[in-house]
Structure 1
Amino acid sequence: MQSLRREATVETNKLYAMGGFNLSNGEERYGLVQCSRDLTNVECSQCLEAMLVKVPQCCAANLGWQVLAPSCLIKYDDYMFYQITNQTSSLLPNPAKKGGKIKSTTLIIIIVSVLVALALVVCSIYYLWRQYLSNKDGLLSVNTPTSFHGHVQREDALTVDLPTIPLIWIRQSTNNFSELDKLGEGGFGPVYKGNLEDGTEIAVKRLSKTSGQGLEEFKNEVIFIAKLQHRNLVRLLGCCIEENEKLLVYEYMPNSSLDSHLFNKEKRKQLDWKLRLSIINGIAKGLLYLHEDSRLRVIHRDLKASNVLLDQDMNPKISDFGLARTFEKGQSQENTKRVMGTYGYMAPEYAMEGLYSVKSDVFSFGVLLLEIICGKRNSGFYLSEHGQSLLVYSWRLWCEGKSLELLDQILEKTYKTSEVMRCIHIGLLCVQEDAVDRPTMSTVVVMLASDTIALPKPNHPAFSVGRQTKEEESTSKTSKDPSVNEVTVSNILPR
């Protein structure tokens, strides 16, 4: 594993490496190391080295194991759990053996190509016909701004009551996506500021052609935000799918995202304790609405500081529903093989096993709450002067009765001790390793609002997991069927 660490940080500078090797007894083993993109090579090496030191303590008896920190991970097993794509290799037919099949293969390719071309022509004609009819109808949503009148079409494929705005109109409002009007860029793509005809300011989110977020996730966000309305959720005004462009039009948030204030040395001074507590309560209420009070039971799956926007009055609004999922009535959790999210905010059961539930969002909320209190990112905190993750550092301070040392020094004269202590306590309850131990968001909202409710003692926060040895697995089968972990290892990048 040391050789993989050197390969990731010294030899290739890719911040990840994978490969197989033989043990002294001839058995094969496979390993993978990976760091988040916000680390330098030196920081990545330090993080991986710190994780390797932990291995003898937690995983010595395990045949396979995985150790995770907010900014890096190491995985080791007896099977090749990753895929290596060889783009240079190709399977070419051998003329000596398959000469008789070449003509039939060519014929099949020609027939398929013709059918595909014909299908494309039919689809194009149908699309143009529907667009023509929708232009004639000129139907508008009740909530459509006055400036959209005369410009809005309907897109039945989205199956929601949301206006679809012509691309030419969006180009005009953003000066043809001018760099001067560019507000920023995320995993989805760049965001531009625009102006409606009546002077209303808007934010236009443009899906990058190289983005990993495809049409399905684009539609996913449109459907969710169109059906959800709450003062702590961002408002979607319209969308556009035209000429290979995928665009979302939101209400403009003049104070940008929470992370742009919280992690900026100067802007952070504007966030006094009263305002931070208001932001914490607003995020909690928005998340509670998603989980229990909306028409849909929604799991956000990517709650973090950059996905919380601030309006002109610094009210928080949860945004970015591209990874959100709904639960049916009575459903408590779901499993996915496609683990996507952000290092440092993902709950351990989701990152390791692909299991997500409302408690996954509760974990992310707990991380965000602790970040708001201390003014530092969870990602990369392990490499700070404290030498441990934000979650573990917060928990140890709480155990030692020194929780106030976690507080952002800028707030030293604006806070109430009881409120800070209670918020830290609630944050630690939210980031417990076992999802069953974490409170629901309805409980969190009540705990934040009440000074009299007694809070339970938090357990140690999530840190690492291991996999049982073959002997342990065979023993456990007599009492209970072991769960099968079919999670793929994904290269998770910040969104």
Structure 2
Amino acid sequence: LDDFNCYDRQECVSMEENPQVFFCCCEGNYCNERFTHLPDMIGSGNRVKIRPPPRVPSLLNVLVYSLLPLCVLSLALVLALWMYRHRKPPYGHVDLSEDPGPTPPSPLVGLKPLQLLEIKARGRFGCVWKAQLMSEYVAVKIFPVQDKQSWQNERDIFITPGMRHENILRYIAAEKHGTNLETELWLITEFHERGSLTDHLKGNTVTWTELCHIAETMSRGLAYLHEDIPSYKGEGPKPTIAHRDFKSKNVMLRDDLTAVIGDFGLAVRFEPGKPPGDTHGQVGTRRYMAPEVLEGAINFQRDSFLRIDMYAMGLVLWEL
């Protein structure tokens, strides 16, 4: 082969790196009997191309590349939290300029010798205190100002004509304490040492007689709540009321295990010729919701809301 690179070569050596086709040339008899591929050889000389070892990243570089994304993410979260707190009002969408409204006359007006003793329960709309009024123990349900709507609704249900019944929690007064953001809304009712039916069932097993008594008095209270009663003894007519959050936690027990229904923060009245107010379908406690409520297929009629209460009471009876 007439190639300058082939002259004076006694061995057949290929020196191209990563060739598609291996090629070598030499001169002499049987010089190509043994083929050798040496890609590190440079040109026709004998120098060997030495590659530097790969660089090992330093510890500082590893730390920088590992921690930098975490620092950036943390900074972004802190910034987002700061913007959220500065843009969101501290008590939600509450119009503090709007007064919660006058409280109805009560024996506490002018006296108010009320002493809070201990917290008995905490719920979605506030906490319930055991308190002492003169020589009587009472329950004080304290709402934060952002739950003003629930306080107003429960107060309005309690002062509805005809709401006095032996199986309905006895209402005493509603009061407002504090000003502006420190405003607290109090709802004062009778106190029952046994607490709720939930509390009683946690530590006691009811007998068949006790079960029947609790079920009967609880049913009487709910039936009275659902009943539409005309004017009686100078009081106005009592409209039908749907509880909408009936559960064992909202059934109080007297010392003789008589059931008393309370917590009307989500209750709704059905008065002739008047809209029932907020009848949003999916309210209450999910465990006690009827299937049509969970599916969002509720019919917004009076009887539908009453049946939902009955379904919830059936679950309470099952708990017994």
TM-score by length of 1: 0.38
| Pair 1:318–1:340, CA change in 2 (3 A) | same
Match of 2:143 in 1: 207
The DSSP-based 3-state class of the residue aligned with 1:344 is helix
- Counterpart-to-counterpart distance in 2, 1:346 and 1:234: 23
What does 1:240-319 correspond to in 2, within 5 Å? 240-243=175-178, 244-262=183-201, 264=202, 266-267=203-204, 269=205, 271-294=206-229, 295-319=238-262
The DSSP-based 3-state class of the residue aligned with 1:182 is strand
- Counterpart-to-counterpart distance in 1, 2:258 and 2:111: 31
Matched to 2:305, the amino acid is S
Q: CA deviation at 1:286?
A: 0.7
- In structure 1, list runs of 5 or more residues that go unmatched: 1-85, 91-118, 128-154, 176-180, 373-495
The DSSP-based 3-state class of the residue aligned with 2:150 is helix
- Counterpart-to-counterpart distance in 2, 1:239 and 1:290: 21
Q: CA deviation at 1:302?
A: 0.5
- Counterpart-to-counterpart distance in 1, 2:278 and 2:101: 30
Match of 1:450 in 2: none
- Counterpart-to-counterpart distance in 2, 1:194 and 1:334: 32
Match of 2:284 in 1: 341
Superimposed CA distance per residue, residues 121-149 of structure 1 (whole angstroms, 9 cap, x where no aligned partner): xx8xxx8xxxxxxxxxxxxxxxxxxxxxx
Matched to 1:174, the amino acid is L
Indicate the structure whose relative CO is greater, using CA pairs within 8 Å and at least 6 residues apart.
1
Superimposed CA distance per residue, residues 422-445 of structure 1 (whole angstroms, 9 cap, x where no aligned partner): xxxxxxxxxxxxxxxxxxxxxxxx
- In structure 2, list runs of 5 or more residues that go unmatched: 1-79, 85-95, 230-237
- Counterpart-to-counterpart distance in 1, 2:276 and 2:132: 42
What does 1:65-104 correspond to in 2, within 5 Å? none
| Pair 1:256–1:334, CA change in 2 (3 A) | same
Superimposed CA distance per residue, residues 253-307 of structure 1 (whole angstroms, 9 cap, x where no aligned partner): 0111001122x2x42x3x2111111111111111111111541210000000000
What does 1:111-150 correspond to in 2, within 5 Å? none
Match of 1:357 in 2: 305
- Counterpart-to-counterpart distance in 2, 1:338 and 1:88: 35
Matched to 2:155, the amino acid is V
User: Does structure 1 retain, via aligned residues, the 8 Å contact 2:269–2:276?
Assistant: no
Q: CA deviation at 1:222?
A: 1.0
Matched to 2:251, the amino acid is V
| Pair 1:254–1:88, CA change in 2 (3 A) | closer
Matched to 1:234, the amino acid is L
Q: CA deviation at 1:163?
A: 5.4
The DSSP-based 3-state class of the residue aligned with 1:193 is strand
Match of 2:315 in 1: 367
Instruction: Select 1:225's aligned residue among 158, 164, 167.
Output: 158
Superimposed CA distance per residue, residues 337-371 of structure 1 (whole angstroms, 9 cap, x where no aligned partner): 46221012112223323545211111111111111
The DSSP-based 3-state class of the residue aligned with 2:125 is coil
The DSSP-based 3-state class of the residue aligned with 1:326 is strand
User: Does structure 1 retain, via aligned residues, the 8 Å contact 2:105–2:173?
Assistant: no
Superimposed CA distance per residue, residues 442-492 of structure 1 (whole angstroms, 9 cap, x where no aligned partner): xxxxxxxxxxxxxxxxxxxxxxxxxxxxxxxxxxxxxxxxxxxxxxxxxxx
Looking at secondary structure, tell me which structure has more helix per residue. Answer: 1
Superimposed CA distance per residue, residues 22-57 of structure 1 (whole angstroms, 9 cap, x where no aligned partner): xxxxxxxxxxxxxxxxxxxxxxxxxxxxxxxxxxxx
TM-score by length of 2: 0.58
User: Between Structure 1 and Structure 2, how many residues are aligned?
Assistant: 211
